[in-house]
Amino acid sequence: MNAKTLIPLALFSVLVGFLAVGLRLDPHEVPSPLVNKPAPAFKVAQLEQADAQFSPEDLKGKVWLFNVWASWCVACRQEHPVLMEFARAQVAPLIGLDYKDQRKDAMGVLKRAGNPYDITAFDADGRVGIDYGVYGVPESYVIDKAGVIRYKHIGPITMEALQKTIIPLINELKKS
Amino acid sequence: MTAELGHFALILALCVSLVQGILPIAGAQYGRREWILLARPAAQALFLLMACSFAALAWSFYTNDFSVQYVAEHSNAQLPTLYRFGAVWGGHEGSLLLWVLMLSGWTVAVAQNSRTLDDTMVARVIGVLGLVTTGLLMFVLFTSNPFTRLLPAAENGRDLNPLLQDPGLVFHPPMLYMGYVGFSVAFAFAIAALLSGRLDAAWARWSRPWTTAAWVFLTLGIALGSWWAYYELGWGGWWFWDPVENASFLPWLLGTALLHSLAVTEKRGSFKSWTVLLAIGAFSLSLLGTFLVRSGVLTSVHAFATDPRRGIFILVLLVLVVGSSLALFAWRAPKVALGGSFGLMSRESLMLAGNVLLVVACASVLLGTLYPLIIDALHLGKISVGPPYFNAVFVPVMAPVLFLLAAVPLARWKHAEARDIALRMWIPGVLALLAGALVPRLMGGWTVLTGLGVALSVWIAVSGVIQIARRLKSGLPPSSFWGMHLGHMGIAVFVFGVTMVGGYQEEQDVRMEPGDTVLVGGHLFKMVGVQDVPGPNYSAARGAFEVSHNGGAVHMLYPEKRNYFSSTMPMTEAAIDAGFIRDVYVSLGEPLEGKAWAVRVYFKPFVDWIWGGCVLMALGGLFAMSDKRYRLRVKAGAMDTGLTKGATA
């Protein structure tokens, strides 16, 4: 045996190492470039009171959960009970962003299924959604006291994600 | 009941493969003749059992037995019979079963066609194949059993993925797998040679036709896949550098290097350990390809269902097979005697250069394919590597290979004079430069890439013709000579097609209403209308287009947009008017308001030359395989004497 003929085996071992690590990663998971960046500013009308407006500025100094949803989104219905649970727990303000929707449809949903949101901002043309890099509804963001996005959840929030990740994170952020 | 028989046959096959994998190798090691002689019957029994098992699955599909989960997931009572058969390998479990069936098929082919080979050697080869089969059968039985019952049975099946309902798919995977699996024979020969410590010209001569056969299948399989993507996906492209495509291309590149390296080892006895390494590498990449495709570690347009348990199983298999082979290589290769020496300028050195370049090309494609995974594993972020990377690294590495391959057949073994070669290559050289300068201008604009592409293909083609003409003066050459030149000619045709499509294709994405016209590549397209037509398991919107060239004859094209009942995703059936020097291609996009549609229209010059070139390459392989010397020597029994000479040399 000499060193030269061991090279292929060595290279292969490195490859296997990467493949083994790779197996535990999810290639479909796309991180948000917005995490740890200030939440994009906007000022839009509210859903229920068209003459009142909402801006993230209004919640400076508070930790809050920002949830993008729509009446046409099936996965949002699945997420809805989890959000109701979150609202009941009164951990932090929950702000909705009704994304590319009709006012009438959205208010219908909230009336029928219950309204977990403290305020819902109305994003009829989806412009706010674009700033937040929304590419699938629902998506949710945890925003801290300084107005910085600290966490992004893609897809419906599950009870497990709520209990194990989101609520502990909010409690942690509230202390600082 | 049939499914249980199939399952039972599979379990028996695992038992037989264990016997086939262990006893013959042990027998060869300890000189137990009765164990050695077990190799052939075991291989035959294994093949029969696998055939039974596969037939049982095919029968379940044919009879629409939706109590078998795999059938329920991939077939449907409305599915036409041909696709019901194709659906057998339309999913993970069935394609693995096909893999193992083919592996046992190759093994039996080796067993039957090696009557004159030394029994000990055959025992080792079949034994190695048996071990590989054992691993794969365990994978099938423990993680991917196609015979699992579904209780209660489904009323109807979920239907085959509509993308796969195409005649191209019925043949693409079997061809590809034949190639993948075929490299296992070259691999087994290499391992057997390492085990016995006898790496000589005879070993290379045995492996060569097998390697070529596998290479032919792989070439055709890749070409079929590319052709299928071209007309079925409706994107108009023929190669996307997708991880799954790369997984099939990697063994092809290494297999091509192996073919040529085996030639040198057979003729001159050189490059022995290099050839062994390539044989191990080609099959390892086939296994790695299976891993990448089946474990879901990479994202791909070929979105296969993934299961982490499967990924771990294949990874372990990969480590066992490749790791032990490379360890064996590290241990045994230094003892291999050096082959004939050769000069700095000789056919050997030029072939080695080409070989190394192919390996470099292979390594760069592998790196690009795995790079997203490596970066992610190191927590450096998520990236994807696209065609720009592959084109940027692949083209510069392959250009010198193309340059070399025209001239190498002129170089003498051992020592060649550069001046001699230059003297005999001046005609192709001048013609290549002229064509490279002129043809692109005629086509509508010269760029470095089109000039280079045309020049290289003319360089290869003309030098091939001249060499053939010169050789014919001294009588009819052997078929391996024809094989080599046909293969190289195929490369020339392929490169020309790629260059033309890459440089001069035209495409337009337009909104069209009935009566609208669009001019693309000198062809006038007029939309007549779109109407609804029913299909067996789908409903379609079929567009009608009139196409005419320079006011000449009008012909009709009918692209379709199909909605399969079982799927929410609409499928595009492009309409293609194929021609020798160009394709025109229409595909329907989305319906817009009123009667308007988004329509995609392409003009693709010489696109069919891409696949024509591949077919020529495969034909070349067939000619090379059929060379008399592989049969004559066997008949004369010269194998054994060659072997002993090699062993004592």
According to DSSP, the residues that pair with B442 across neighbouring strands are none
φ, ψ at B270 (rounded to 5°): -90, 175
Give long-range contacts, CB 8 A cutoff, 24+ apart: A123-130.
A123/A44, A123/A97, A123/A98, A123/A99, A124/A100, A125/A100, A126/A99, A126/A100, A127/A42, A128/A40, A128/A42, A128/A44, A128/A97, A128/A99, A129/A68, A129/A97, A129/A99, A129/A100
Between B416 and B178, the more confident residue is B178
Strands (E), B252-407: none
- Reply yes or no on whether the pLDDT at B163 is more than 80: no
Distance CA B387, CA B238 (A): 12
Q: What is the pLDDT of residue B640?
A: 40
pLDDT digits (tens, 9 = 90+) for B11-45: 999 999 999 999 999 999 999 999 999 999 999 99
- Going along chain A from its start, the domains and CATH numbers come out as 33-175 (3.40.30.10)
- Reply yes or no on whether the pLDDT at B300 is more than 60: no
- Reply yes or no on whether the pLDDT at B506 is more than 60: yes
Distance CA B494, CA B507 (A): 21
Distance CA B543, CA B586 (A): 9
Domain boundaries, chain B: 1-165, 166-403, 425-504, 506-560+568-606
Minimum distance, in Å, between the CA of residue B67 and any CA atom of chain A = 31
Mutate to test the interface with A, among B254, B293, B297, B300 (most CBs of A within 10 A): B297
Q: What is the pLDDT of residue B76?
A: 86
Other Cβ atoms within 10 Å of A66 Cβ, number: 21
Kind of pairing between the strands at A64-69 and A94-99: parallel
Comparing CA positions, the residue from A163, A135, A30 lying closest to residue A73 is A135
Distance CA B266, CA B208 (A): 9
Confidence band for A161, pLDDT divided at 50, 70 and 90: confident
Segment B92-103 shows an average pLDDT of 92
The beta-carbon neighbor of A25 closest among B291, B333, B377 is B377
| Helix or strand holding residue B40 (H, E) | helix B39-62
Segment B114-138 shows an average pLDDT of 93
Distance CA B242, CA B245 (A): 5
Mutate to test the interface with A, among B376, B379, B384 (most CBs of A within 10 A): B376
Q: Quick one: three-class SS letters along B487-552?
A: HHHHHHHHHHHHHHHHHHCEEEEEEECCCCEEEECCEEEEEEEEEEEECCCEEEEEEEEEEEECCC
8 Å CB contact between B417 and B407: no
pLDDT digits (tens, 9 = 90+) for B325-354: 999 999 988 877 666 678 888 899 999 999
Verify whether the Cβ–Cβ distance A9 to B273 is below 8 Å.
Answer: no
- Reply yes or no on whether the pLDDT at B649 is more than 50: no
* Residue A141 CB-half CA count within 13 A: 27
User: Tokens in use for B54?
Assistant: 């596969």
8 Å CB contact between B612 and B497: yes
pLDDT digits (tens, 9 = 90+) for B172-196: 888 999 999 999 999 999 999 999 8
The beta-carbon neighbor of B291 closest among A6, A19, A31 is A19
Confidence band for B322, pLDDT divided at 50, 70 and 90: very high
Q: What is the pLDDT of residue B495?
A: 96
pLDDT digits (tens, 9 = 90+) for B387-414: 889 989 999 999 999 999 998 988 888 8
Segment B137-144 shows an average pLDDT of 92
- Reply yes or no on whether the pLDDT at B252 is more than 90: yes
- Reply yes or no on whether the pLDDT at B633 is more than 70: no
Please tell me whether residue B234 adopts helix, strand or coil conformation. coil
8 Å CB contact between B438 and B458: no
Q: What is the pLDDT of residue B295?
A: 66
Q: Which chain A residues are within 8 Å of B291, Cβ to Cβ?
A: 19
Q: If you average pLDDT over every residue of chain B, what do you get?
A: 88
Check whether the bond before A138 is cis (ω within 30° of 0): yes
User: Tokens in use for B6?
Assistant: 């199939």
Please tell me whether residue B338 adopts helix, strand or coil conformation. coil
Q: What is the pLDDT of residue B631?
A: 66
- Reply yes or no on whether the pLDDT at B636 is more than 50: no
On whether any CB of chain A is under 8 Å from the CB of B478, the answer is no
* Residue B201 CB-half CA count within 13 A: 19
Verify whether the Cβ–Cβ distance B299 to A27 is below 8 Å.
Answer: yes
Confidence band for A28, pLDDT divided at 50, 70 and 90: low
- Reply yes or no on whether the pLDDT at B628 is more than 80: no
| Helix or strand holding residue B110 (H, E) | helix B92-112
Confidence band for B645, pLDDT divided at 50, 70 and 90: very low
Q: Which chain A residues are within 8 Å of B308, Cβ to Cβ?
A: 23-24
Give me the helix-helix angle, B272-295 and B324-332, nearest 10°. 170
Q: Which chain B residues are within 8 Å of A14, Cβ to Cβ?
A: none
**What ipTM goes with this model?**
0.81
Minimum distance, in Å, between the CA of residue B361 and any CA atom of chain A = 17
Poorest-pLDDT segment among B144-153, B295-304, B313-322, B325-334: B295-304
| Prediction pTM value | 0.82
pLDDT digits (tens, 9 = 90+) for B438-483: 999 988 889 999 999 999 999 999 999 999 999 999 888 999 999 9
Verify whether the Cβ–Cβ distance A9 to B277 is below 8 Å.
Answer: no
Q: What is the pLDDT of residue A105?
A: 86
Segment B162-167 shows an average pLDDT of 77
Verify whether the Cβ–Cβ distance A9 to B376 is below 8 Å.
Answer: no
Residues 6 or more apart whose Cβ sits within 8 Å of residue B31: none
Segment B307-317 shows an average pLDDT of 79
Verify whether the Cβ–Cβ distance A22 to B329 is below 8 Å.
Answer: no
On whether any CB of chain A is under 8 Å from the CB of B334, the answer is yes
- Reply yes or no on whether the pLDDT at B430 is more than 70: yes
Q: What is the pLDDT of residue B296?
A: 63
Minimum distance, in Å, between the CA of residue B299 and any CA atom of chain A = 6
Q: Which chain B residues are within 8 Å of A74, Cβ to Cβ?
A: none
Q: What is the pLDDT of residue B90?
A: 83
C-alpha gyration radius of chain A: 21
What are the b/e assignments for B145-179, b being 16+ CB within 10 Å? bbbeeeeeeeeebebbbbbbbbebbbbbbbbbbbb
* Residue B552 CB-half CA count within 13 A: 4
| CA dihedral (B327, B331, B332, B337) positive or negative | positive
For tokens 């859903």, name the residue.
A47
For tokens 């003729």, name the residue.
B267
pLDDT digits (tens, 9 = 90+) for A88-105: 988 899 999 998 888 888
- Reply yes or no on whether the pLDDT at B361 is more than 70: yes
Comparing CA positions, the residue from B568, B567, B558 lying closest to residue B599 is B558
Segment B535-542 shows an average pLDDT of 86
Q: Quickly count helices (H) and strands (E) in chain B.
A: 22, 10
User: Tokens in use for B494?
Assistant: 């392929």
- Reply yes or no on whether the pLDDT at A80 is more than 60: yes
Verify whether the Cβ–Cβ distance A23 to B323 is below 8 Å.
Answer: no
Distance CA B251, CA B322 (A): 14
Segment B584-600 shows an average pLDDT of 86
DSSP A38: B
Q: What is the pLDDT of residue B232?
A: 76
- Reply yes or no on whether the pLDDT at B89 is more than 70: yes
